[in-house]
Amino acid sequence: MSEQIIKAGQEVEEDSRADAAKAALLPLKTRLLELFLVCLKIGLTSFGAPTAHIAMMENEFVRKNKWVTEEHFLDLLSAANLIPGPNASETCYHVGYVRAGYPGLLVAGLSFISPAFLTSLLLAWVYMRYGSLPQIEGIFYVLNPLVLAIVLETTWRIGKSSFKGWKQIAIFLLAVVAKLLGVNEAVILIGGGVLGALLHHLLAEWPKGLPPTQWMLAFLPLPAITDFVQNTAAQAKESFSTIFLYFLRTGSVLFGSALVLFALIEEDVVNRFGWLTSQQLTDAIAMGQITPGPVLSASTFVGYIAGGLGGAAAATFGVFLPSFLIVAATAPLVKKMRENHLAHSFLRGVNAAVVALILFICITLAQNAIVDLWSVVLMLAGLAILLFTKSQPYVLVIAGFVLGLLRVLILS
C-alpha cells in the first residue's frame, strides 16, 4: 500500500514537471503578462502574516498554474528563508525568475508589492489628515480565522510533499524540539540543512566519494550591508536619501517574518530620531495588517510620516531593494543546487525545518484568530471549503473582508 502511495506521488510530481516544461515554451511577453496578473491578484487579496501570502502563492504557482512543482516551490521557499529580507516577497521573486528570467523577477516583485505600497500611501494620507485609522477589530474578527484556515490547508499540503521518508520526519521533529527550546530560527534552518546533507547525501553517497560543497555554502545567510549608513538620520522631516539609506540598512538585516521590522526600527524612529510617536508606530503595525500584500509595506506608512510622499517612496524602495538584489544574485544558483545531490540534500533538510517553523506560526496565528466559538466555526468552515471544494483562497479573503465590514456597520 505504501509503495502505491509513493508511486502515485511520483506520478503527480512527473505530471507537474511536464506541465511546467510546457508552460515555459510560451513567448516571453505572454509569460510576463501572466506573471503580472497572477502576482497582482496575490498582492491585492493576500492579507495578514507572510505565511498567508505564501499559502496563496503555493495555490497559484503550484496547483493552479503549474509553473513549478511542489518540491521546487519548497526549495525556493527554503532559499528565501536563508537570506535577509521578507520571505514571501523573495519567494515571489524566485518564482518570477524561474518563469521568465530576470524580467520575470522584476515583474513578479513589482506587481506583488505595488498594491500594498499604494494602499499604505492612501492610508497614511488619511491618517495624517484625520489623525486616526478606521476601526478594524470587527473586520479582523471574521478575516483572521479564514486566513488561519488558508495557512493550515497549505501547511498540510506542503508537509505531505516534504515528508517523504523517515529522514524528513526526523529532521522535522528535531526542528520542532529546537524551536520549543528557543533556538534561533536561522540556526534551525541551517541545522536542518546540515542534517539533510548528512542523512540524504553523506550516508548514501559515502562509498561513491563526495562532490564539492560549494553549492551548499551558497545559501548560508549572506553578510549584511555594512552599518556605515546607520547614523545618517537626524531630523524629524528627513530627505529622500536619509530615509532611503536608513531603510536600506534595515532591509539588509531583516531575517524571517516582516513583523521583525518593527522590532528593528522601534528604538530609532521613536526615541532616537523622533520621526514617529509610540502611538503612530502602533498604528503603523495595525496598518500593515489591514493592507493587502507584504506587511513590510508598513515602511511606506512610516516613511510618509517622516518625510511626506518622498519619504514614503524612499522607505519602500530602501527596505525592499536588498532582497531584490540578493535574490537576483542567488536565483541562478537554486537550479544548480537542485541538480547537485549534496546541495539538494541540504535544501531537503531545510524544507523539513521550514514546515516546522510554519507550524509554529500557525499556532501564533491561532492565538490571535481563535477568540470564541464563532471564530472556531469560521475557521473550520473555511478549512472545509478549501479541502472539499475548488474554491480559491482569495475568495475566502474577500468574503471575510466583506462579512467583517458588514459586522462593523451593523454593530456600530
**What is the structure's pLDDT at 24?**
60
Tell me: the pLDDT tens digits for 124-151?
887 777 665 556 666 777 877 887 887 7
Strand, helix or coil for residue 243: helix
- Quote the CA–CA distance of 236 and 272 in Å, as a whole number: 10
pLDDT above 60 for 224: no
Predicted confidence (pLDDT) at residue 411 exceeds the cutoff of 80: no
Task: Quote the pLDDT of residue 37.
Answer: 94
Asked if 303 and 316 touch (Cβ cutoff 8 Å), the reply is yes
Q: What pLDDT score was predicted for residue 1? A: 43
Does residue 281 surpass a pLDDT of 50? yes
Examine the pLDDT at 228 and tell me if it is beyond 90: no
**What is the pTM for the complete model shown?**
0.62
Res. 58: pLDDT tops 70: yes
Task: Write the DSSP assignment of 197-236 as a string of letters.
Answer: IIIIIIHHHGGG-----HHHHTTSPPPPPPGGGTT---SS
pLDDT in tens, 13-53: 554 455 555 556 788 899 999 999 999 999 888 776 677 78
Cα distance between residue 392 and residue 397, in whole Å? 9
For range 179-202, the mean pLDDT: 79
Question: For residue 190, which amino acid is it?
Answer: I
The CA-to-CA distance between both ends of the chain, in Å, stands at 57
Residue 338: the pLDDT is 62
Q: Which amino acid is at 395?
A: V
The 10 Å Cβ neighbour count of residue 292 is: 22
Does residue 106 have a pLDDT over 90?
Answer: yes
**Cell representation of residue 167:** 529522514
Range scoring the smallest mean pLDDT among 89-98, 102-111, 281-290 = 281-290
pLDDT at residue 10 greater than cutoff 70: no
CA 65, CA 63: separation in Å to the nearest integer?
Answer: 6
Which residue reads 510622499 in cell numbers? 309
Residue 341: burial class (beta carbons within 10 Å; 0-12, 13-18, 19+): middle
Q: Give the residue extent of every domain in the chain.
A: 2-222+322-411, 227-321
* Phi and psi torsions of 138, nearest 5°: -65, -35
C-alpha cell at 59: 495555490
Residue 235 pLDDT level (bands cut at 50, 70, 90):
very low
- The CA distance from 407 to 374, in Å, is 13
Q: Flag whether pLDDT at 225 surpasses 50.
A: no
- Would you say the C-alpha torsion 182, 185, 189, 191 has a positive or negative sign? negative
Question: CA angle, corner 329, sides to 94 and 253, nearest 5?
Answer: 85
Q: What is the mean pLDDT of the chain?
A: 75
236, amino acid identity: A
Q: How far apart are CA 108 and CA 324, in angstroms?
A: 11
More confident residue, 135 or 268: 268
Pairwise pLDDT comparison (316 vs 219), residue with the higher score: 316
> Tens of pLDDT along 205-216?
555 544 444 444
Sequence-distant (≥ 6) Cβ neighbours of residue 133 within 8 angstroms: 123, 126, 127, 283, 286, 287, 290
Percent of the chain with pLDDT over 90: 12
Q: Other C-beta atoms within 10 Å of 245: how many?
A: 21
pLDDT over 80 at 348, yes or no = no
- Tell me which of 114 and 344 has the higher pLDDT: 114
pLDDT surpassing 50 at residue 229: no
On the CB side of 142, CA atoms within 13 Å amount to: 16
DSSP 296: G
Query: Dihedral through CA 336, CA 342, CA 347, CA 353, nearest 10?
Result: -170
At 102 the pLDDT is 92
Q: What is the DSSP letter of 1?
A: -
- The answer, yes or no, to whether residue 172 has pLDDT greater than 60, is yes
Which pLDDT does position 167 carry in this prediction? 84
